[in-house]
Structure 1
Amino acid sequence: MNDIFGSVIAIVAILSTIALPIGLGVYFALRTANHKHKERMEMINQGLMPPSDDKEIPNRLKTLKNAVLLIGVGVGVGIGILIVKILNLREDEGFWVIAPIVLLFLGISHLIYFFMSKNHNENEVD
């Protein structure tokens, strides 16, 4: 009896943590889509033109900034780990080497992005 009860509790726990959030997400997504559709149909019935669902053009400079910053963080972590391995430091000492190097390369990548975007903006003006 205890084995069956324990199995039921395990199944309910798994369903609660996985199926419930997914089910609620699907329910609210369908409900929102249905509400949008009804709203658009009402606007059309009243003779109004509903706003278009065209997606905005992504900002290429924002993508460039994210790419340059992530490259800077990756290079900083890589070089920091390499220095920790070369100097044969412990983990708690390694943090104090890796963190400043990551911040240094993050700053360098910000400068690189600044000069890249400056050149990009100058080209757009001309």
Structure 2
Amino acid sequence: MEDLIGVIAILCTIGLPIGFGMYLGLTSIRAEHKERMDLIRQGIIPPERMKKKANPNRMVSLRNGIVLISLGIGVIVGFLSSENLAIGQDNGFWIIGASIVFFLGLGYLCYFLVTQKIGDTQQKDTDQE
């Protein structure tokens, strides 16, 4: 009986959100289908669903790449400094957290500077035309 409590807890934690999401998705699909069928019964040709083409934004990808690289560098530097520096012997958690935040800040600053240079070069190109 004690093992049953853990199984029920896992099922409730994982199964209920998945089940609720499936219920909402099926309800949405069913409502859309019913709406299309009603339009067809009235003699109206329903418009085709337009699927948007994925137009990737390169600036978002650049930002995510710079931030993730800086996050990785921050974690590595934090672990190395907490193990090898005298200041990090008793304050490992704070050293790791501070280095992660520091390098994330540097990553965002780097992203800002890169996009500012890109914006300046695009502005010069439009001015020359």
Structure 1: gaps spanning 5 or more residues = 1-5
User: Higher RCO, 1 or 2 (CA under 8 Å, sep at least 6)?
Assistant: 1
Unaligned ranges ≥5, structure 2: none
Are 1:29 and 2:25 matched, yes or no?
yes
> Size of the alignment, in residue pairs?
119
1:53 partnered with 2:60? no
The 5-angstrom pairing of residues 39-118 of structure 1 reads 39-40=35-36, 42=38, 45-46=43-44, 49=47, 52-87=50-85, 89-90=89-90, 93-118=91-116
Q: Distance in 1 between matches of 2:21 and 2:80?
A: 43
The 1:115–1:43 alpha-carbon spacing in structure 2 relative to 1, beyond 3 Å, is farther
20 and 71 in structure 1: CA distance in 2 versus 1, 3 angstrom threshold: same
Q: TM-score, normalised by structure 2?
A: 0.68
What CA distance in whole angstroms lies between the structure 1 residues aligned with 2:39 and 2:122?
39
Counterpart-to-counterpart distance in 2, 1:15 and 1:102? 35
Cα separation, partners in 2 of 1:81 and 1:19, compared to 1, 3 Å: closer
Deviation string, structure 1 residues 33-65 (Cα, Å, up to 9, x no partner): 122233345567545646623145232211211
TM-score, length of structure 1 as denominator length: 0.69
Residue identity in the other structure for 2:107? S
Identity %: 36
- After superposition, the CA RMSD in angstroms is 3.1
The CA deviation string for residues 9-56 of structure 1, in whole angstroms up to 9 with x for no partner, is: 559825544444333322221111122233345567545646623145
Question: 1:79 Cα deviation (Å)?
Answer: 0.6
- The range that moved more, 49-58 or 93-102, is 49-58
